[in-house]
């Protein structure tokens, strides 16, 4: 494979900077969350540093993978979509058969820190697959085309729902919606979809399709005081942790919530509480600015993409990130119900980090190989 | 591509909206409410548990324990870790009530915060809000109802909005008769149909329904949701009251909320054993102050109460929701180092356990511990047996006066007695009657029993405030340290020593007493028995013995006000230049009186003259001037009166050109300077009337100072501070406040006169001491209260001050009985105190044996 060095002239370094900055902040937060690092002596606690170091290793692995993807033309990757698509669905099936269960969901292949979460990789592969088939469509608004898209989307979604992992499927739904939106989905479908969604919720609610804990989470989300010590407890603690970050509390942080035993999964799903409790509003806004920079520049890249495939892939990834940020940070500040969705580049977890880095790599890839002439 | 472009922008707009929402939410949580969340966060994690240190004990001078700590079982409820679900709380409460009732502890349930009462005998509900009129009462009731979202039938007549609007208008209008009329009008319009007991009943049942203890069937009848509550109304009331108090303490998630105190051990155990049915309810052991002697000594011991100055005590590290603090007497003064200068603290230093709690509030581990330091044990100067004797003797003397055993009947409901060691200022007994039993306050900081609340005058501060002529006996008032009243003839030993020292009289100076001293025109100082004629030729010792007003008026006249005042100052009995009251130095709060000074008298005269000038000058004939208080005109004339410098030029400059006005002012200036009012003041004061008022402690101190040769010792109650193991931590040495040079022969003269009072035929207290084995000296005093008091059925203050043994004085006793009629009636109190003090003297043994026998036969 030939690599054109000149291509790197077109690499969006501001996105790269944002990603690296977020990843460093995330790793430090994981260190705080697991007590691997702290402001009290001993400042570095080696016995508690396993998670912290694992994340650093994953980051190195992910960077290598990202770099590798960068040098392959994304259209080449797109060409392998059938193999990737079939492969990921087999993995998802394997998870259901031989996967290991954590936190009430069978989502893992392998054990311990070496385990992988195929549903994470399924997100990016589904984006590539859908982008590829949508590229070949003159108009996506025909029943046949929409049906095809739905078919390709529903297979992994169905398999993930069996784990069950509703949270990841929510990302799927929003990601696909974002891609269809940019691909020119007729607004009547969007309105129709909204109506369908509302009636779907009503059906879900009234016909015992949702697990009781899911129903409870939603109820508690709308009225946290229903159960301050049960499901609403985490929501309350998260809000308390974020709130106590005030404007900037890096050195005066009470350290009480995210650093102790209070917030469960602080280094994964609730990583933002760890971050916000210390860095306060100042840090949170800087973090959001970094994310916004990725999305803003990403939209620019999508606009200047040399082909529809590139546009669709970029939008798939951007939709995914946007929704993950909204969902993850939103649940910590009482905007969204509590779900187990990771914050891109921040949350602990190899699969998630790898997927996020590969995804951002694809955006940069599209950007590097964009049309030379703007219209 | 136009469409595509739109979609890109639309996507960007959606992203911006999402980020904007997140940021505005962060502003709300981190910037606006950050402090609150931080506080909440800090209250989690490491939770300090305060362990109150054992409170220091208070002992008498012989080591008898006057205030100690006992263990007490309390039943508490904690929200933390428990479901706030109504039915679960109700279950717990109802089950706990069953246990409490079964063990007969229902009266121990804390009902303080619940404002509805039920009188079982009258079968009537009522509110226990205190209010000065019906309107104020209804306002509080409606507030309570509004806070609990309850409406009753009465609200059809008066809704909250109407009340609120009226109240707002009322607050904006000026106070006075128009306000009173408005309230009256409002009451007539709305409140005539208001029936307190019906309304309270309705509110109570609505609350019971709200808390799900009862419900209503279709025809509106009460259905009990808990079978045991249907058994008696009292149980239902307790259940509702407890639910109400838990509700009001809802914000105290981590705190134990007390629901019953001082329960039996069996109750506590049953609660502990059945904890499964009683989620959130536990029993605990807490230390409680206990006073083994009950009422005896309450005047100086004080009592424990709830913290009212939250800010002060919070800054000192108190747990204001739970801790009780001393609120009067030694309990207050010795509470902590902030409250006294003696470096004593009864409270000690609380210990702290830092524990990590899990999300259910359960303790995971103890991370640090600071041990509590027990409070200081304080040994007082009090002899508790003398104290008991003093209180009993006062009560008996007052009873005798009331039922006429002495002859005349008087109301005699309160009094005080102080016994002091003349060589140290140590107080051996300090009694104030009526007293109170501090044990009633020890549990919760206030008595629960309505009878006690009424008896101790705790429920009508307004009535006490308006009691201008001091007719209501106040158990919580310390008559020994705070009751400054005219000492009457018991002040004559002071006049005697001042006169002798100044040389205006000698031991042998005689005066012809014709019954009424009238050597200054317009002045008449009468003897108490002037109707029987004068006492004839008398000297100072005779005058003391027979209590001649004539003689001491003469002494006052010869001394003059300046000299008299100088001597009062030497004894620490006058206000200082800044108007600061004198002080005996006693540790506990005192409200001492003082002996008037010439400056004070002149100022009073100037004020009265100024009032008549203001009035007079309004008249046309006097220029028709209006002189407002505080203006330069007022101040200039007032200064003129005080200084005695009449200056016509100043008046001209001010514009007072009217000749009549000038003459009037000139006359008043002369009047203030020359008129004999100053003389009269000192004449009266020399016999202990007029502008002299002193407390029993001050009286004991002044007499001690004469007897010990002129050393004024600080009156004190604290003798030693002990370590927890009983060894001495600190000795409080007698402190000299002042020294006066007194000639021994003059002291002897005064003692001789006072000896005659108790020993010689014709002495005013002879009947009490005629057969007493130990010779004593004394002086009776019968002080007339003011005209207003007399109009309000007040009678004379009966004073008696004395010392013993006569030949070599050791202690003094000062006693006063309000409305006691005659000073001689108070003398018996001193004798009873001497009985205890001298009980080991050989000469006393026969006497005491006989007394014991006669007590037995009675």
Among residues B681, B715, B735, which one ends one of the domains? B681
Identify the bridge partners of residue B512 per DSSP, sorted by sequence position: B537
Mean pLDDT, rounded, for B344-354: 82
User: pLDDT band for position B308 (50/70/90)?
Assistant: confident
- B370 to chain A nearest CA, in Å? 21
User: Considering only CB atoms, which chain B residues are within 8 Å of A262?
Assistant: 44-45, 359
Structure tokens at B576: 């200082």
User: Considering only CB atoms, which chain A residues are within 8 Å of B34?
Assistant: 243-247, 280-281
User: Considering only CB atoms, which chain A residues are within 8 Å of B358?
Assistant: 261
Task: Tell me whether residues B29 and A256 touch, CB distance under 8 A.
Answer: no
> If you count residue pairs, one on A and one on B, with CB atoms under 8 Å apart, how many are there?
132
Chain A residue with the nearest C-alpha to that of B45? A256
Chain A residue with the nearest C-alpha to that of B44? A256
Q: Is residue B253 part of a domain?
A: no
Q: Is residue B56 part of a domain?
A: no
Distance CA B797, CA B596 (A): 19
Among residues B628, B652, B681, which one ends one of the domains? B681
- Whether residues B563 and B553 fall in one domain: yes
Mean pLDDT, rounded, for A291-295: 95
- A47 to chain B nearest CA, in Å? 20
- Cβ partners under 8 Å of residue B312, min gap 6: B338
What string of H, E and C letters represents the secondary structure of chain A?
CCCCHHHHHHCCHHHHHHHHHHHHHHHHHHHHHCCCECCCCCCECHHHCHHHHHHHHHHHHHHHHHHHHHHCCHHHHHHCHHHHHHHHHHHHHHHHHHCEEECCEEEEECCHHHCECHHHHHHHHHHHHHHHHHHCCCCCCCHHHHHHHHHHHHHHHHHHHCCCCHHHHHHHHHHHHHHHHHCCCCHHHHHHHHHHHHHHHHHHHHCCCCCHHHHHHHHHHHCHHHHCCCHHHHHHHHHHHHHCCCCCCCCCCCCCCCCCCCCCCCCCCCHHHHHHHHHHHHHHHHHHHHHHHHHHHHHHHHHCCCCHHHHHHHHHHHHHHHHHHHHHHHHHCCCCCCCCCCCCCCCCCHHHHHHHHHHHHHHHHHHHCCCCCCC
Give me the domain span that covers residue A264: 5-190+236-368
What single-letter DSSP state applies at residue B457? Answer: T
Query: Residue B413: its pLDDT value, please?
Result: 92
Q: Which of A256, A335, A375 sits opposite B45 (nearest CB)?
A: A256
- Number of folded domains in chain B? 2
- Whether residues B771 and B701 fall in one domain: yes
- Whether residues B671 and B780 fall in one domain: no
Whether pLDDT at B321 is above 80:
no
Whether pLDDT at A21 is above 90:
yes
Chain B residue with the nearest C-alpha to that of A375? B1
Distance of CA B284 to the CA centre of its chain: 32
Query: Residue A38: its pLDDT value, please?
Result: 72
Q: Is residue A224 part of a domain?
A: no
- Cβ partners under 8 Å of residue A144, min gap 6: none
Q: Which of B30, B44, B45 sits opposite A246 (nearest CB)?
A: B30
- Whether residues B633 and B513 fall in one domain: no
Peptide bond into A290 cis (omega under 30): no
Distance CA A223, CA B826 (A): 74
Mutate to test the interface with B, among A184, A256, A303 (most CBs of B within 10 A): A256
Task: Tell me whether residues A242 and B30 touch, CB distance under 8 A.
Answer: yes
Whether pLDDT at B157 is above 80:
yes
Query: Residue B581: its pLDDT value, please?
Result: 87
pLDDT tens by residue, A339-355: 778 899 999 888 889 99
Mean pLDDT, rounded, for B847-853: 90
- Number of folded domains in chain A? 1
User: Considering only CB atoms, which chain A residues are within 8 Å of B7?
Assistant: 181-182, 184
Q: Is residue B825 part of a domain?
A: yes
In 3D space, the residue among A198, A190, A174 whose CA is nearest the CA of residue A141 turns out to be A190
User: pLDDT band for position B5 (50/70/90)?
Assistant: low
Q: Is residue A210 part of a domain?
A: no
Query: Residue B477: its pLDDT value, please?
Result: 93
What single-letter DSSP state applies at residue B276? Answer: G
- Whether residues B521 and B588 fall in one domain: yes
Whether B705 and B740 have beta carbons less than 8 Å apart is answered as: yes
Q: In chain B, how many H helices and how many E strands?
A: 30, 27
Distance CA B545, CA B529 (A): 14
Distance CA B821, CA B801 (A): 16
Query: Residue B439: its pLDDT value, please?
Result: 92
- B16 to chain A nearest CA, in Å? 8
Distance CA B273, CA B282 (A): 10
- B278 to chain A nearest CA, in Å? 19
Mutate to test the interface with A, among B12, B21, B22, B27 (most CBs of A within 10 A): B22
Radius of gyration of chain B (CA): 35
- Cβ partners under 8 Å of residue B3, min gap 6: A184
User: Considering only CB atoms, which chain A residues are within 8 Å of B21?
Assistant: 335
Identify the bridge partners of residue B711 per DSSP, sorted by sequence position: B739
- Whether residues B578 and B719 fall in one domain: yes
User: pLDDT band for position B487 (50/70/90)?
Assistant: very high
pLDDT tens by residue, B93-124: 899 999 999 888 888 888 878 889 888 888 88
Positive or negative, the CA dihedral A207, A211, A216, A222 is: negative
Structure tokens at A184: 């020119």
Whether pLDDT at B364 is above 70:
no
Q: What are phi and psi of B813, to 5 degrees?
A: -130, 130
User: Considering only CB atoms, which chain A residues are within 8 Å of B41?
Assistant: 240-241, 243-244, 254, 256-257, 277
Mean pLDDT, rounded, for A232-242: 75
pLDDT tens by residue, A255-266: 555 554 456 667
- Whether residues B588 and B613 fall in one domain: no
Whether B301 and B273 have beta carbons less than 8 Å apart is answered as: no
pLDDT tens by residue, B727-746: 888 999 999 999 999 999 99
Chain B residue with the nearest C-alpha to that of A334? B25
Chain A residue with the nearest C-alpha to that of B21? A335
- Whether residues B623 and B707 fall in one domain: no
**Mean pLDDT computed over every residue of chain B:** 87
Q: Is residue A353 part of a domain?
A: yes
Q: Is residue B634 part of a domain?
A: yes
- Tell me what ipTM this predicted complex has: 0.91
Identify the bridge partners of residue B595 per DSSP, sorted by sequence position: B692
Query: Residue A230: its pLDDT value, please?
Result: 46
User: pLDDT band for position B255 (50/70/90)?
Assistant: low
When comparing pLDDT for B396 and A250, which is higher?
A: B396
Query: Residue A319: its pLDDT value, please?
Result: 93
Distance CA A92, CA A162 (A): 10
pLDDT tens by residue, A101-121: 766 667 777 655 567 888 889
Whether pLDDT at A81 is above 80:
yes
Q: What dihedral angle (degrees, nearest 10) is formed by the CA atoms of B432, B435, B437, B438? A: -50
Q: Which of B30-34, B56-60, B389-393, B733-737 has the lowest mean pLDDT?
A: B30-34
- A38 to chain B nearest CA, in Å? 16
Task: Tell me whether residues B45 and A322 touch, CB distance under 8 A.
Answer: no
Whether pLDDT at B514 is above 70:
yes
When comparing pLDDT for B697 and B652, which is higher?
A: B697
Whether pLDDT at A211 is above 70:
no
Q: Is residue B494 part of a domain?
A: yes
DSSP B425-437: -BEEEEEEES---
- Whether residues B696 and B559 fall in one domain: yes
- Percent of chain B past pLDDT 70, that is, above it, reads 94
Give Cα separations from B727 to A87, B378, B722, B731 (angstroms).
Answer: 86, 11, 6, 11
Mutate to test the interface with B, among A237, A240, A275 (most CBs of B within 10 A): A240
Q: Is residue A256 part of a domain?
A: yes
Q: Is residue B111 part of a domain?
A: no
Whether B547 and B557 have beta carbons less than 8 Å apart is answered as: no
Q: Please report where in the chains the tokens 């509003």 appear, as a residue.
A: A281
- Whether residues B703 and B815 fall in one domain: yes
User: Considering only CB atoms, which chain A residues are within 8 Å of B33?
Assistant: 243
Q: Is residue A326 part of a domain?
A: yes
Distance CA A253, CA B81 (A): 26
- A79 to chain B nearest CA, in Å? 25
Q: Is residue B510 part of a domain?
A: yes
Whether pLDDT at A221 is above 80:
no
Helix, strand, coil distribution of chain B in percent, nearest 5: 45, 20, 35
Q: Which of B458-467, B721-730, B842-851 has the lowest mean pLDDT?
A: B458-467
Q: Is residue A222 part of a domain?
A: no
Query: Residue B15: its pLDDT value, please?
Result: 92
Among residues B651, B681, B711, which one ends one of the domains? B681
What three-state secondary structure class fits B223?
A: strand
Peptide bond into B538 cis (omega under 30): no
Whether pLDDT at B50 is above 80:
no
Distance CA B691, CA B600 (A): 9
Q: Is residue B419 part of a domain?
A: no
Identify the bridge partners of residue B414 per DSSP, sorted by sequence position: B818
User: pLDDT band for position B1 (50/70/90)?
Assistant: very low
Highest mean pLDDT pick, B170-184, B224-238, B818-832: B818-832
Whether pLDDT at A228 is above 50:
no
Give me the domain span that covers residue B570: 489-596+692-853
What single-letter DSSP state applies at residue B651? Answer: H
Distance CA B213, CA A176 (A): 54
Query: Residue A259: its pLDDT value, please?
Result: 53
- B15 to chain A, any CB pair closer than 8 A? The answer is yes
Task: Tell me whether residues A299 and B8 touch, CB distance under 8 A.
Answer: yes
Query: Residue A373: its pLDDT value, please?
Result: 46
The answer for B 414-473 residues in CB contact with A (under 8 A) is none
In 3D space, the residue among A80, A74, A73 whose CA is nearest the CA of residue A3 turns out to be A73
Give Cα separations from B17 to A343, B20, B709 (angstroms).
Answer: 19, 5, 92
- Whether residues B700 and B828 fall in one domain: yes
Mean pLDDT, rounded, for A170-192: 87
When comparing pLDDT for B538 and B460, which is higher?
A: B538
Using DSSP bridges, classify how beta strands B797-804 and B536-538 pair: parallel, antiparallel or unpaired.
unpaired
User: pLDDT band for position B651 (50/70/90)?
Assistant: confident
- Whether residues B653 and B529 fall in one domain: no
Q: Which of A36-45, B220-229, B774-783, B833-842 has the lowest mean pLDDT?
A: A36-45
Q: What is the CATH number of the domain that holds B538?
A: 3.40.710.10
Element (H, E) at B353: strand B351-357
Full-model pTM: 0.62
User: pLDDT band for position B668 (50/70/90)?
Assistant: confident
Using DSSP bridges, classify how beta strands B377-380 and B58-59 pair: parallel, antiparallel or unpaired.
parallel
Query: Residue B578: its pLDDT value, please?
Result: 78
């Amino acid at each position: 494979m030939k690599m054109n060095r000149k291509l790197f002239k077109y690499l969006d370094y501001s996105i790269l900077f944002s990603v690296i900055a977020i990843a460093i902040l995330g790793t430090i937060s994981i260190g705080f969350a697991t007590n691997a690092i702290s402001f009290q002596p001993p400042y570095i606690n080696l016995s508690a540093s396993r998670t912290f170091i694992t994340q650093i290793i994953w980051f190195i692995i992910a960077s290598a993978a990202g770099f590798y993807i960068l040098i392959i033309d994304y259209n080449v990757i797109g060409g392998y979509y059938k193999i990737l698509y079939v492969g990921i669905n087999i993995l998802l099936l394997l998870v259901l058969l031989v996967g290991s269960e954590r936190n009430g969901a069978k989502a893992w292949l392998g054990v311990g820190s070496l385990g992988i979460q195929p549903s994470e990789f399924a997100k990016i592969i589904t984006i590539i697959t859908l982008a590829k088939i949508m590229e070949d469509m003159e108009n996506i608004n025909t029943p046949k085309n929409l049906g095809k898209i739905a078919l390709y989307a529903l297979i992994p979604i169905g398999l993930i729902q069996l784990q069950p992992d509703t949270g990841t499927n929510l990302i799927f739904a929003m990601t696909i919606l974002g891609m269809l939106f940019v691909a020119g989905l007729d607004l009547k479908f969007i309105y129709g979809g909204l109506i369908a969604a509302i009636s779907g919720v009503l059906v879900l609610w009234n016909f015992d399709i949702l697990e009781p804990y899911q129903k409870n989470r939603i109820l508690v989300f709308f009225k946290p005081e229903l159960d301050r010590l049960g499901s609403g407890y985490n929501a309350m603690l998260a809000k308390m942790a974020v709130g106590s970050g005030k404007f900037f509390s890096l050195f005066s942080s009470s350290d009480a919530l995210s650093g102790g035993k209070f917030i469960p999964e602080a280094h994964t799903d609730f990583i933002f509480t760890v971050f916000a409790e210390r860095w306060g509003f100042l840090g949170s806004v800087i973090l959001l600015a970094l994310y916004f920079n990725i999305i803003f520049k990403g939209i620019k890249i999508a606009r200047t993409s040399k082909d529809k495939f590139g546009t669709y892939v970029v939008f798939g990834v951007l939709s995914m990130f946007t929704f993950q940020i909204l969902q993850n940070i939103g649940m910590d500040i009482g905007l969204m119900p509590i779900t187990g969705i990771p914050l891109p580049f921040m949350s602990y977890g190899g699969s998630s980090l790898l997927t996020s880095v590969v995804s951002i790599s694809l955006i940069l890839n599209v950007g590097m190989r964009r049309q030379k002439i703007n219209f | 591509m136009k469409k595509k472009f739109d979609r890109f922008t639309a996507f960007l707009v959606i992203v911006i909206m999402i980020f904007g929402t997140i940021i505005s939410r962060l502003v709300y949580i981190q910037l606006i409410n950050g402090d609150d969340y931080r506080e909440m966060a800090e209250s989690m994690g490491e939770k300090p548990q305060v362990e109150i240190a054992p409170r220091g004990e208070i002992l008498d001078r012989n080591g008898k324990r006057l205030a100690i700590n006992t263990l007490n079982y309390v039943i508490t409820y904690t929200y933390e870790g428990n479901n706030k679900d109504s039915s679960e709380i109700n279950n717990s409460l109802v089950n706990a009530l069953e246990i409490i009732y079964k063990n007969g502890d229902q009266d121990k349930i804390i009902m303080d915060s619940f404002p509805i009462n039920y009188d079982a005998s009258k079968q009537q509900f009522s509110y226990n809000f205190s209010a000065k009129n019906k309107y104020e009462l209804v306002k509080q009731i409606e507030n309570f109802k509004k806070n609990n979202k309850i409406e009753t039938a009465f609200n059809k007549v008066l809704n909250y909005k109407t009340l609120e609007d009226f109240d707002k208008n009322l607050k904006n209008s000026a106070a006075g008769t128009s306000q009173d009329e408005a309230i009256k009008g409002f009451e007539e319009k709305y409140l005539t149909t208001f029936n307190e007991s019906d309304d309270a009943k309705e509110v109570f049942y609505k609350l019971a329904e709200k808390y799900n203890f009862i419900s209503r069937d279709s025809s509106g009848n009460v259905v009990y949701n808990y079978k045991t509550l249907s058994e008696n109304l009292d149980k239902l009331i307790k259940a509702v009251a407890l639910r109400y108090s838990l509700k009001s303490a809802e914000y105290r998630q981590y705190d134990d909320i007390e629901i019953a105190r001082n329960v039996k051990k069996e109750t506590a155990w049953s609660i502990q054993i059945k904890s499964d049915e009683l989620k959130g309810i536990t029993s605990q052991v807490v230390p409680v102050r206990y006073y083994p002697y009950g009422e005896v000594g309450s005047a100086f011991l004080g009592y424990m109460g709830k913290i009212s100055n939250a800010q002060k005590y919070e800054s000192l590290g108190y747990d204001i929701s739970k801790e009780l603090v001393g609120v009067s007497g030694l309990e207050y003064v010795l509470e902590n180092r902030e409250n006294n200068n003696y470096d004593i603290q009864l409270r000690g230093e609380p210990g702290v356990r830092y524990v990590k709690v899990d999300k259910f509030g359960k303790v995971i581990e103890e991370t640090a511990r600071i041990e509590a330091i027990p409070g200081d044990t304080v040994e007082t100067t009090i002899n508790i047996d003398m104290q008991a004797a003093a209180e009993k003797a006062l009560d008996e003397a007052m009873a005798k006066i009331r039922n006429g055993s002495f002859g005349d009947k008087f109301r005699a409901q309160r009094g005080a007695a102080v016994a002091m060691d003349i060589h140290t200022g140590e107080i051996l007994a300090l009694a104030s009657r009526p007293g109170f039993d501090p044990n009633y306050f020890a549990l919760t900081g206030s008595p629960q029993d309505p009878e006690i609340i009424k008896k101790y005058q705790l429920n009508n501060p307004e009535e006490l405030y308006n009691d201008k002529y001091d007719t209501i006996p106040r158990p919580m008032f310390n008559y020994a340290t705070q009751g400054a009243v005219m000492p009457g003839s018991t002040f004559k030993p002071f006049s005697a020593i001042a006169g002798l020292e100044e040389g205006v009289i000698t031991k042998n100076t005689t005066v012809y007493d014709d019954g009424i001293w009238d050597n200054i025109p317009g002045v008449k100082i009468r003897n108490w028995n002037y109707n029987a004629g004068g006492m004839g030729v008398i000297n100072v010792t005779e005058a003391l013995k027979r209590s001649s007003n004539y003689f001491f008026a003469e002494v006052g006249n010869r001394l003059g006000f300046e000299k008299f005042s100088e001597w009062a100052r030497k004894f620490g009995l006058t206000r200082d230049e800044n108007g600061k009251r004198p002080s005996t130095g006693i540790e506990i709060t005192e409200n001492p009186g003082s002996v008037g000074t010439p400056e004070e008298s002149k100022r009073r005269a100037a004020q009265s003259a100024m009032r008549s000038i203001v009035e007079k000058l309004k008249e046309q004939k006097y220029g028709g001037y209006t002189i407002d208080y505080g203006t330069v005109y007022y101040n200039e004339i007032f200064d003129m009166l005080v200084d005695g410098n009449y200056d016509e030029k100043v008046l001209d400059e001010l514009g007072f050109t009217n000749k009549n006005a000038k003459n009037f002012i000139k006359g008043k200036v002369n009047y203030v300077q020359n008129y004999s009012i100053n003389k009269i003041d000192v004449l009266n004061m020399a016999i202990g009337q007029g502008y002299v008022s002193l407390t029993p402690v001050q009286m004991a101190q002044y007499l001690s100072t004469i007897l010990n040769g002129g050393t004024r010792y600080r009156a004190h109650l604290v003798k030693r501070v002990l370590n927890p193991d009983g060894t001495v931590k600190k000795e409080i040495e007698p402190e000299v406040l002042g020294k006066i040079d007194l000639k021994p022969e003059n002291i002897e003269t005064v003692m001789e006169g006072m000896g005659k009072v108790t020993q010689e035929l014709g002495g005013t207290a002879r009947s009490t001491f005629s057969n007493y084995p130990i010779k004593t000296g004394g002086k009776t005093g019968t002080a007339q209260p003011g005209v207003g008091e007399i109009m309000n059925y007040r009678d004379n203050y009966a004073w008696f001050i004395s010392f013993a043994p006569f030949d070599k004085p050791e202690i003094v006793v000062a006693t006063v009985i309000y409305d006691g009629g005659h000073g001689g009636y108070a003398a018996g109190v001193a004798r009873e105190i001497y009985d205890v003090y001298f009980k080991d003297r050989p000469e006393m043994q026969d006497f005491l044996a006989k007394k014991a026998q006669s007590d037995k036969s009675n």
